[in-house]
Amino acid sequence: MCPARNTGNGKRGYIIPIGGAEEKDDKPVILQKFFDLCGGPSANIIVIPTASKLGRIGSQYMEIFDEFGAAHVDYIKVENRDDCGRATILNKLDKATGIFITGGNQLRLSTILGGTPLAKKLRYLNAHGIHIAGTSAGAAIIPEHMIAGGSTGPTPSESGVVLSPGLGLTNAIMIDQHFRERDRLDRLLTALAYNPFACGMGIDEDTAVFIDPDDMLEVVGSGAVTVVDPGDLKYSSIGEARHGETISLINARLHILTSGSKYNIATREPFIE
């Protein structure tokens, strides 16, 4: 699945996957940067809390963006697939300058949103300049291929990851969140063994990547982003591995990027500033 086409003259919106547990009180630099990007005092931000069963999570983010000074903040209550086609819900997105997808269970997102008019509208809006951020599960759903589960540890294995379709806002990267805190290198490596076309992004908690319309990303936050680039991969044993067997990956490149670092997804070049 390729991202939706931009049918106008404007640029695509930013894509902002967040590794989860972003700071919300003392120094909410990630949420503040998203708010500023969406227009600051003129921002119209819509929160999508579908991934969570916690009833207050939508209003929690609404309060944060409201305290920042947004012109308008709202959330859409999407609890089943029928909701994803309701005009009253879809129309709320029409004036949004930014959309924020909360954390929770990414399979709730994929099974409720996948293939619906709401998912199609999110892809269209992002292609036409609307910025979309997601934290934790909301980050996992952003790319074409979503990491839905898997094992933990440093070593990839044949059964080390569970994949499902994502929103397809980008097909150039694969994302895993809570990365260092939950020791998820193995499942990101396994996912890339299956799909070496994409670039892997393991995002720590309280850390985000702001991906601009030209596929240049900037790291923001207190942690790091582990970039795994399989572009020059010489060999993967995933095709011959038995169930659960450790796999070989030869010539994959790895970068650790901290706040302020940049990375060009198209050229696979890191920049330290």
Per annotation, catalytic residue among 22, 157, 178, 218: 178
Per annotation, catalytic residue among 110, 136, 236, 261: 136
Active site includes 273?
Answer: no
Rg value, the chain, Cα: 18
CA-CA-CA-CA dihedral for 216, 220, 222, 223, to nearest 10: -20
Burial readout 109-121 (b: 16 or more C-beta within 10 A, e: otherwise): bbebbbebebbbb
User: If DSSP codes are grouped into helix, strand and coil, which group holds residue 153?
Assistant: coil
Active site includes 259?
Answer: no
Per annotation, catalytic residue among 144, 158, 205, 218: 205
Q: Is the separation of the CB atoms in 263 and 228 below 8 Å? A: no
Report the distance separating Cα 193 and Cα 190, nearest Å: 5
Residue 45 class from Cβ within 10 Å (0-12 exposed, 13-18 middle, 19+ buried)?
buried
Active site includes 205?
Answer: yes
Where in the sequence numbering do the catalytic residues fall?
136, 178, 205
